[in-house]
Structure 1
Amino acid sequence: MYSITIMCIIIITLSMIMMMLASTISKKSILDREKSSPFECGFDPKSSSRLPFSLHFFLITIIFLIFDVEIALMLPIILILNYTNLMMWSITSIIFIMILLVGLYHEWNQGMLNWSN
């Protein structure tokens, strides 16, 4: 028990030393305005380097991530069929798929799936 505690203390100490060392080595000592500005082929930028953020693209990305996680959650449903009760598996799968379909209907009803906007 004591050896595990000692090892944890040593690991935490070493990681703290490494983080402090990396922090002190990586600090910039000179803040230069030219180095901080965006670089555009050696010339000053003609316009702002910060483009406006597309909220529609962000929403499409979030919907894609949600569907991606849903697929990752649905794959084990098929694999677990051999190990569980068929009735409980059916009820759980139907409830899960119904929740996904209600979410899809809500996104469709709110106009989130309109790609042309």
Structure 2
Amino acid sequence: MDGKRKIGDYYEGVAARYLGSHGVRILARNVYNRGGEIDLIGQDGTTLVFFEVRYRRAGSLVGAAESITWRKQQRLIQAARFYLHRHQLSNTDSRIDVIAIGPGSLKKYRVQWLKNALQAG
């Protein structure tokens, strides 16, 4: 496993624990489909949530949330739509959230949960 993947797995675990502590039930991790990859899929109340986890270390030129390009946004939306269609969940309440993780002041990192960050239409 390369270093980037190992770091990604670590921070996806951080995000999953954070979300769990906020009442989200994680249903799946690293879901690949024709549309792209979905880092985490969870249940927040009655809503199915697709999570994009982004990490940026200290000194990065842009923050974690700002690092999601327009192209990446389109791939996330396509992956979420494909997942909903494939699992016959088109009428299910769903949204795409971003978990942005960056350096913290007192803690090792700061987690920011951006709900409904992208619109899947």
Give the structure with the larger strand fraction: 2
TM-score clears 0.5: no
TM-score (norm 1): 0.26
Give the structure with the larger helix fraction: 1
Which structure ranks higher in relative contact order (CA pairs < 8 Å, sequence separation ≥ 6)?
2
TM-score (norm 2): 0.25
